[in-house]
Amino acid sequence: MLVINNFEEFASHKGEVLGISDWLEIPQERINLFADATIDHQWIHVDEEKAKNGPFGKTIVHGYLTLSLLPHLWSEIIQVNNLKMMVNYGMDKMKFGQAVLSGQSIRLKAILEDIVDLRGICKADIKFTIEIKDQKKPALTGVATFLYHFEQK
């Protein structure tokens, strides 16, 4: 895990792979709970019987569930200390590349694409790829922007 204590340490990794998370399996139970939370009960996600005869042969993970796991996977890659707070600022160039099937595992690969100091606020653009175990095509790619408010010395 990469440990960062200030802007300068963070900026020294520009253009580098920051890390790769552990694999995380996404079971049907998590898909069902996400469906309940978002009121998205489309059969392709929750009806295991019907999905057997569907285009993927089984249920698939909601794309937004895959995206929502980004903070958890990110926390396995980096620990940022001396923060007042961190804010999700935006997403760019996000693309769903391949459906994640129920029971498959995903992981995050993160690259520090850009970083700037905005009057004491660190704006970090993280190029991310959410990979599917044993698959060549990723589930999701994009650029996540985070604002890190470091404690002043």
With 0-12 / 13-18 / 19 or more C-beta atoms within 10 angstroms meaning exposed / middle / buried, residue 6 is middle
Read off φ and ψ for residue 82, nearest 5 degrees.
Answer: 60, 40
Residue 23 per-residue DSSP state = P
Side-chain-side CA neighbours of 76 within 13 Å: the count stands at: 14
Per-residue pLDDT tens digits for 118-140? 988 999 999 999 999 999 999 99
Contact at 8 Å (CB) between 100 and 61? yes
* Confidence band, pLDDT 50/70/90 cuts, at residue 108: very high
Strands (E), the chain: 2-4, 17-20, 24-25, 78-80, 83-96, 105-118, 121-132, 140-150
Between β-strands 24-25 and 105-118, what pairing exists: parallel, antiparallel or unpaired?
Answer: antiparallel
For residue range 45-80, list pLDDT tens digits in order: 999 999 999 999 999 999 999 999 999 999 999 999
Find the largest Cα–Cα distance for the chain.
60
Domains along the sequence of the chain with CATH: 2-150 (3.10.129.10)
